[in-house]
Structure 1
Amino acid sequence: MTSTPQPPPEPPIPAARAVDLVRTYGSGDTAVHALAGLSVELITGEFTAIMGPSGSGKSTLMHCMAGLDGPTSGTAFIGDTDLSTLNDREITALRRDRLGFIFQSFNLVPTLTAEENITLPARIAGKDTDPGWFADVVGRFGLGDRLSHRPAELSGGQQQRVACARAIVGRPAIIFGDEPTGNLDSNSSAEVMSILRSAVDDLGQTVVIVTHDPGAAAYADRVIFLADGLLVEELRNPTAESILAVMASFEKVDVR
């Protein structure tokens, strides 16, 4: 008796994807083309770093894919949700309920304690934070003895750990980080990147960061490089050395 061949499984839906994204600022001779028809998929359960020269479109790509900015043309998806079909209220709800954000400037509320900052998005959404999950996240980030402290009483690394905990505690589909180590010293930077790496490895989280730091990007599974608003190179299992080699290729100047 022969078994009926089974069709191959459907490929998983990417955590996010961009399809022919164009983002132009201004018009006419002064127009700036930040994205020039860029397409990319961000894989669920992976850590992706976005790199490229200044003005290459790194932050613009992340902002368009996260619903923080709208493209001039093209489409951005979170899972199978087409962001261009959502109104402002729906975009706000999607960012609140399905995305986590970590910014260079921490973006903590100065009058709130660390605990209140971590649980703020859930409280704004009228949701309770699972106590067991909260305790797990706080323990992973080493914040148990800092929960009653306000941001001014925390070091930069501690503030960014609070921001990471805030992003993760809501169990988002994706965490987006815009230069998350930009204001940190090397030790604090390594601390934060290790936390994001463990969020992928231990919690199955999807993490996407924009960074200029090869050391930070080397924590990722994949690095994508932009230039002139397009994806021009990609590295899997990167090292700081392999990242630097690609970046150096952007800086070569024809001196003839």
Structure 2
Amino acid sequence: MTSAHSRHETGYPPHGLPPAAAAVDLTKVHCGGAGEVTALDHVTVSFHKGQFTAIMGPSGSGKSTLMQCLAGLDSPTSGSVRIGDQELSRLSDRQLTQLRRERIGFVFQAFHLLPTLTVAENITLPLVIAGRRPAPEWLDQVITALGLTQRLTHRPGQLSGGQQQRVACARALAGRPQIIFADEPTGNLDSRSGAEVLSLLTQLVRHMGQTIVMVTHDPVAATYADRVVFLADGRIVDEIRQPDTDQVLERMKQFDLPGGAPGR
């Protein structure tokens, strides 16, 4: 184990850069027929520019809820969320939609590509909907980096799963977002295609300065990240920097042991 967080705060700013996204004292309570369920319990965490972070934890630990709150897809019960210097709670619904379009990219387990559109049309669709023109040089750089130059006229049904996820990554990058949130991006892929996509995400961080936050249950996928943040019962309980598979597996095993979530 690498660190037990005395203040339940995790994150470090490489080269003194400000965070691309941050949560402070974030709490999310779901109310339903079974009563209140605390999905996030006073979480404070930062995700810095040019960094690839994986979020892991047992089922129901709050991983997806944290990502959804950070990305402005869900509203916290209390606490604050920032994308760059923008506090999300101060935005109207229209402003929040605009922020998601202009500053955030999304990659999901399901590729969400439109089958009747070509690869090129799928990549630029969010920009077209937003009434924005893609920057040609940036778009060419993204398409080249993701190995899609020879696939632009193809339709999704003509591509493998790994190629479709590359298109989804290109679509997320097309608007030059400040941060990309990826929710189980290799969940629908075989191991080889998953490794290709993860390698590409790593290259985007290393060579294009992209910031990526990925929710995953896969210890191997997590090792592609610069840093792994662990959640349990809605709280951040540990992190590993420059992780390897053995470290991640060992940490995940401890969630099955009594008292396996340090700091609780």
- Shared fold, TM over 0.5: yes
Distance (Å, rounded) in 1 between the aligned partners of 2:18 and 2:145? 29
Report the residue type matching 1:167 in the other structure.
A
Of 143, 146, 156 in structure 1, the residue corresponding to residue 148 of structure 2 is 143
Q: Which amino acid aligns with 2:28?
A: R
Q: Report SS of the residue matched to 1:18.
A: strand
Do residues 57 (structure 1) and 66 (structure 2) align?
no
Between stretches 224-233 and 13-22, larger displacement belongs to: 13-22
Q: 1:252 to 1:133 in 2, by over 3 A?
A: same
Which of 76, 97, 101 in structure 1 is aligned with 2:102? 97
- Structure 2: distance between partners of 1:22 and 1:38: 7
1:164 equivalent in alignment to 2:159: no
**Alignment match, 1:32:** 37
Q: Which amino acid aligns with 2:164?
A: Q
Please, what is the CA RMSD of the aligned residues?
1.4
For residues 40-85 of structure 1, give each alpha carbon's deviation from its aligned partner in whole angstroms, at most 9, with x where no partner exists.
0111110000000000000000000000000011111001110000
Matching residue's letter, 1:164: C
1:222 — aligned with what? 227
Equivalent-residue separation in structure 2 for 1:161 and 1:250 (angstroms): 33
Aligned partner of 2:135 in structure 1 is 130
Q: TM-score, normalised by structure 1?
A: 0.92
- Alignment equivalent of 1:109, drawn from 110, 114, 125: 114
SS at match of 1:16: strand
Does residue 66 of structure 1 match 2:74? no
* Partner deviation per Cα, 1:178-232 (whole Å, 9 max, x = no partner): 0000000001100100111000000011010000011111010110000000000
CA distance in structure 1 between the partners assigned to 2:170 and 2:32 by the alignment? 41
**Which residue is equivalent to 1:7?**
none
1:191 maps to amino acid: E
The alignment of Structure 1 onto Structure 2 pairs a total of residues equal to 245
Give the C-alpha shift of residue 30 in structure 1: 2.1
Distance 1:196 1:12 in 2: 21
Which has the larger Rg?
1
What is the alpha-carbon distance in structure 1 between the residues aligned to residue 32 and residue 187 of structure 2? 32
1:15 is matched with 20
The residue identity in structure 1 corresponding to 2:125 is: L
Deviates more, 1:89-98 or 1:135-144: 135-144
Q: Structure 1 runs of 4+ off > 6 angstroms?
A: none
Gaps of 5+ in 2: 1-14, 260-264
- Structure 1 gap ranges (5+): 1-9
For 1:199, the equivalent position in structure 2 comes to 204
The CA distance in 2 between the partners of 1:85 and 1:110, in whole Å, is: 37
Deviations 1:132-153 (A, max 9, x none): 2222211221111211111122
1:248 aligns with 2:247: no
2:82 aligned partner: 77
